[in-house]
Amino acid sequence: MLILVINAGSSSLKYQLFDMPEGVVLSKGLCERIGIPGGRNVHTDRYGAKHEFQVEMASHTDAIKILTERLTDPEFGVISSMKDIDAVGHRVLHGGPGFTESCLVTPEVKKAIREVIPLGPLHNPANLMGIEACEAVMGSVPQVVVFDTAFGTATMPPKAYTYAIPKELAEKHHIRRYGFHGTSHRFVSARAAEMLGRPAEGLRIVTCHLGNGSSCSAVKDGKCVDTSMGLTPLEGLVMGTRSGSLDPAIIGFLAEHEGMTAAEVVTMLNKKSGLLGITGGLSSDCRDLMAARADGNPDAALAIDMLAYSVKKYIGAFAAAMGGLDAVVFTGGIGENNEVIRNLIAGDLEFMGVKLDPVKKLKHEKNCDIAAADSPVRVLVIETNEELVIARDTLALVGLA
């Protein structure tokens, strides 16, 4: 079965074509600057060769048409027509309280995604545009949505997801902890169990998805029991441009003393804070900050230390919440590729059973265990694959339809 996976952003659209159930990627690509002058499509064919095109795309429907042309191109396409595609799977950021698992797209599901736009104002509109663009171009091909919030929403207990605010307001506005990066946390926690040769039941794992956006999840018996992100992706760890957790009174303080609205402060906390804010606007990219840190930049050094410190605190807190720890998993762009930050996080946790191998911890490898042989807690570096999860869920649901 051929399944097309779509991940639509506000001005971008990523796609991968899978041959399922084997999970073979036949082709993939990226359309960016949708609705913005200077549009670009980077398409990777079945042989791994990249082809770049400058093409204007006024809407996500245009982007879907572009990927249609690429996938069916006689030279580097992989299918004869879009009729060869059996189903489409979409990543949707926020499912609100009503969705705890993936589901087939129906008019009612689209309505529900639209209704929770206030909870995911940056992503849900784009995700919905991707769904409707596929409908416009591909007609009645079955579509599936995989919610980023589902992994946490489904299994977190009330003591973990409830905020200590007036109950009537929380219920009226669906204010609770949802958690994000759920598709990634779900994939790497299951992969960790496989690598350890143990069933998910009985395992206590902290998964650390570290990138420009970062989060940690406590996964016990294969289920998410707590997570660092909350109502929105702003809560939790120090991130590229997001502040992470802070005293909520700061919002009112800045609004009063800087003449800002609450919305303006929240925008600042989302887009101008985190690593970018700590370094005075130097960069939100860890690669830039690592170079600046090596050159002696104190702000860059502080930013890296704060990122590692925030992750370290969540590992300790989640281990306590689960009554112990069997493994720590690092994934995401930073988690998979930055051994320095991994070592800053886990290098001095021997008191809780985390002991790194002195050689393995310095290697730039993925899908491996960097813990010492005698470490009671394993430390795994796992390459995440959210698209494969989406393809698998799509296969399962379309097969049941």
Report how far residue 126's alpha carbon sits from residue 169's, in angstroms, rounded to the nearest whole number. Answer: 28
275 Rama sector, left if φ>0, alpha if ψ -120 to 50, beta otherwise = alpha
Question: In terms of Cα–Cα distance, which of 208, 203, 243 is closest to 220?
Answer: 203
Identify whether 357 is a catalytic site residue.
Answer: no
Report how far residue 45's alpha carbon sits from residue 145's, in angstroms, rounded to the nearest whole number. Answer: 25
Q: What is the DSSP letter of 82?
A: G
**Residues listed for the chain:** 401
Report how far residue 229's alpha carbon sits from residue 183's, in angstroms, rounded to the nearest whole number. Answer: 14
Whether omega for the bond prior to residue 21 falls within 30 degrees of 0, making it cis, is yes
- Amino acid in the structure at residue 181: H
- Candidates 19, 62, 84, 148; catalytic one: 148
Q: Which residue has the tokens 């663009």?
A: 133
- Amino acid in the structure at residue 139: G
Question: In terms of Cα–Cα distance, which of 199, 184, 204 is closest to 354?
Answer: 204
> Long-range contacts for 51-54 (Cβ within 8 Å, ≥24 apart)?
51/76
Q: What is the DSSP letter of 371?
A: B
Report how far residue 191's alpha carbon sits from residue 195's, in angstroms, rounded to the nearest whole number. Answer: 6
Catalytic residues: 148
